[in-house]
Amino acid sequence: MMLKCPICGGSVEVPDDALPGELVDHDCGVTLEVVNDGGTIKLRPLEGVREDWGE
């Protein structure tokens, strides 16, 4: 599915089976979190510190 980046307004491709809490990196450099907003899947900028687990 295609969603809109809340930062730059660009298109973000999100897998159809994405679950709330999954992270998506966008071309504008922001990391976005998939959220369920009243039954609608949306994206929001990741808040806080993200652990990269050695990646």
Pick the closest to residue 20 from 43, 2, 3, 4 (CA basis): 43
Q: State the amino acid at position 51 in one-letter form.
A: E
Please report the pLDDT score of residue 52 as a whole number. 58
Residue 53's pLDDT is what?
A: 57
Specify the CATH class of 2-45 in words. Answer: mainly beta
Could you give the residue ranges of the DSSP H alpha helices within 4-54?
A: none
Q: What is the pLDDT of residue 41?
A: 93
What pLDDT is stored for residue 8 in this prediction?
96
Can you give the pLDDT at residue 33?
95
Rounded-to-integer distance, Cα 1 and Cα 42, Å: 11
Q: Which structure tokens are listed for 32?
A: 């976005």
Domain ranges of the chain: 2-45
| Residue-level pLDDT at 40 | 92
Task: Show pLDDT as tens, one digit a residue, over the chain (55 residues).
Answer: 999 999 999 999 999 999 999 999 999 999 999 999 999 999 999 986 655 555 5
The set of residues, in sequence order, having a beta carbon less than 8 Å from that of 29 and lying 6+ positions away, is none
